[in-house]
Amino acid sequence: MITLGDRSISLVMFTRCMTIDDLPATMPIFPLGGALLLPNGLLPLNIFEGRYIQMINDAMMTKHRLIGMIQPDQLARDNGDKEAILNIGCAGRIVQFSETEDDRYMIMIQGVSRFTVMDELSTVLPYRQVSADWNDYHDDMVEDCDTIEIDRESFLPLLKNYLDLNKMDVDWHLIENAPCEILLTNLPMICPFDAQEKQALLEAKSMDKRYENLSTLLKIKVQSSSDNQSIKH
């Protein structure tokens, strides 16, 4: 488990048990800025708004137990479209559920597959639903983690510099020994990247491309911090 302050992310990877053909044509969505869910990753959510309480209740009654995590389109919203969302998100299956004494839901969702929003559906329900296209993301459910390789000799020192700069408390021994897929799934989700950077990691075509994007992003962040420190001194 990677622990950051009061937040922990399990490093256990769940066995993929569904195929692309099992996924539904329509799905409820949860627009949440700055939140990143990746296939096979685990994301804890605190649900307290009435419309999303109903969304979880309804999702729990389906065989898939899926909700679509998607980011708001902040540029479009700033220009007046208050409901705009980006067109690529990730579906998560509810794998843990508990109810608090003050009627909130504490849930954990596991990323299943990315999706493209084809259309938003008209509905009388208080939460939003979309028509989802899964066809570009077959590899999300079948990718062989044994084929993924990272250059640990260069990547891990870079990552450590980034984590130290951001004062992120982690079990470094665990990170050093974690399989590649676990690192490339969990690290983008827990690092404090901005919404645009997280979306770029989500949209990476393959795990190898995600590794390339993540490495580049870490280099930019570390170099920027180093440059700022040089200016101050």
Of the candidate ranges 56-65, 94-103, 167-176, 203-212, the one whose mean pLDDT is the lowest: 167-176
Residue of 22 and 90 predicted with greater confidence: 90
CA distance 105 to 99: 5
Among 86, 89, 4, 94, residue whose Cα is nearest residue 57? 94
Strand (E) or helix (H) holding 172: helix 172-177
Q: pLDDT tens, 170-222?
A: 899 999 999 999 999 999 999 999 999 999 999 999 999 999 999 999 999 99
pLDDT tops 80 at residue 25: yes
Query: What is the structure's pLDDT at 169?
Result: 87
Q: Residue with structure tokens 């044994």? A: 146
Contact 134, 97 (CB under 8 A): no
Quick check: 4 pLDDT over 50? no
* Calpha distance 198→189 (Å, rounded): 8
Q: What is the pLDDT of residue 144?
A: 57
Confidence at 2, pLDDT banded by 50, 70, 90? very low
> What structural domains does the chain harbor?
17-141 (2.30.130.40), 145-228 (no CATH)
**pTM of the entire structure?**
0.88
